[in-house]
């Protein structure tokens, strides 16, 4: 009998599953799994691991990874090392069309290589604005100007869609203007809601182009709500789903991060995220927290969330060997290697 996908996204420690891992992953409260560098040794091992993860449940677990390019790319050996988003933004400043084509190529290549080993989903693109104050965002952001971010993130999303993978834009409503890192503290953005239109502009564009997923940030906007955006009904239900008209999957950021701990224990964080309207609750690097939720969280199920979650499974795609033999992969790989070199601004020597 098929088991519905629950709201918890969990992780595990090694390159193979233990008996405890399998037991937890089969629990009805779990619906997805996130992989890290520690789960990877080489492509064939990863392909076998993902196949086993998919075989544990019906419908299959959604298998995900945080794999953007730049500093945040979990699998590097035997995968194309993708450039940071800021470098693509620099290309866009020199030649807008070249920048957009590069963004779309990177999105396709990222998704195609992950789908080639069976992974369903990557948490990309980052659509935070580059205010040059947030160390945790840094060169993960495309640009300071929302129109450029919207254009580049949309191109990246369309490239992922070309390959057969949904996109998850992050970190809603914006992490780029705060110094604190939500992994270690609760960042606070004291602007009024009326002053956040630039942050929301890229999301409006992505939503209009069929964005499937959004990850909400552990950032507090006290002029909007005292709760972090990830746990706020005002942000998730009223603004994101209501005002912006987003009908896709909403992920909270990792509930183990310090930015979420301000509201209480793991159970309280999960309850608030569900009440806010989040569909998926990642809990990373905290097996005790996962067990606590499985023992204590009361979840009645949500048919709307179920309908949204099934859209996260990756589409059928060429396996790795066929992909690497294809002309499209060779063309995309070559473009990315060129992009990773510093862009050169050529000036006309004949002009003053």
* Catalytic positions: 183, 253
CA nearest 197: which of 145, 237, 130? 145
Pairing relationship of beta strands 249-252 and 8-10 according to DSSP bridges:
unpaired
The sign of the torsion formed by the CA atoms of 93, 89, 214, 48 equals positive
Q: Which residues of 200-222 are buried (b: 16+ CB within 10 A; e: fewer)?
A: bbbbbbbbeeebbbbbbbbbbbe
Beta bridge partners of 215: 170, 251
What three-state secondary structure class fits 345? coil
Note whether 188 and 139 are within 8 A (CB).
no
Rounded CA-CA distance 96/342 in Å is: 16
CA nearest 123: which of 164, 160, 79? 160
- Could you tell me the CA-to-CA distances from 67 to 43, 121, 235, 334, 347 in Å, in that order? 15, 9, 26, 19, 36
């Amino acid at each position: 009998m098929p088991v519905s996908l629950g709201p918890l996204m969990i992780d595990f420690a090694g390159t193979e599953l233990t008996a405890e891992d399998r037991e937890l992953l089969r629990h009805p409260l779990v619906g997805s799994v996130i992989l890290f560098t520690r789960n990877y040794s080489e492509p064939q091992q990863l392909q076998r691991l993902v196949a086993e993860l998919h075989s544990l449940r019906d419908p299959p677990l959604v298998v995900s990874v945080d794999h953007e390019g730049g500093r945040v790319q979990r699998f590097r050996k035997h995968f194309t090392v993708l450039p940071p988003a800021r470098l693509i933004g620099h290309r866009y400043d020199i030649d807008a069309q070249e920048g957009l084509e590069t963004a779309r190529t990177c999105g396709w290549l990222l998704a195609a290589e992950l789908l080639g080993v069976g992974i369903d989903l990557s948490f990309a693109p980052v659509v935070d604005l580059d205010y040059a104050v947030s160390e945790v965002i840094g060169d993960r952001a495309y640009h300071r100007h929302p129109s450029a971010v919207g254009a580049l993130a949309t191109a990246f999303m369309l490239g992922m869609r070309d390959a057969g993978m949904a996109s998850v834009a992050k970190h809603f409503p914006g992490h780029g203007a705060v110094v604190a890192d939500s992994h270690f503290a609760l960042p606070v953005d004291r602007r009024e809601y009326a002053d956040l239109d630039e942050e929301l502009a890229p999301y409006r564009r992505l939503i209009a182009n069929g964005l499937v997923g959004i990850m909400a940030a552990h950032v507090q906007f006290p002029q909007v709500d005292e709760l972090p955006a990830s746990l706020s009904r005002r942000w998730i239900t009223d603004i994101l789903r209501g005002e912006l008209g987003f009908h896709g999957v909403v992920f909270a950021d990792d509930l183990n991060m310090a930015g979420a701990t301000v509201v209480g224990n793991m159970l309280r964080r999960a309850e608030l995220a569900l009440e806010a309207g989040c569909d998926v609750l990642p809990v990373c690097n905290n097996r005790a927290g996962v067990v606590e939720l499985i023992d204590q969280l009361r979840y009645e199920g949500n048919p709307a969330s179920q309908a949204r979650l099934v859209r996260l499974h990756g589409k059928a795609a060429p396996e790795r060997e066929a992909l690497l033999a294809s002309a499209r992969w060779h063309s995309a790989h070559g473009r990315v290697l060129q992009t990773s070199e510093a862009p050169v601004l050529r000036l006309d020597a004949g002009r003053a």
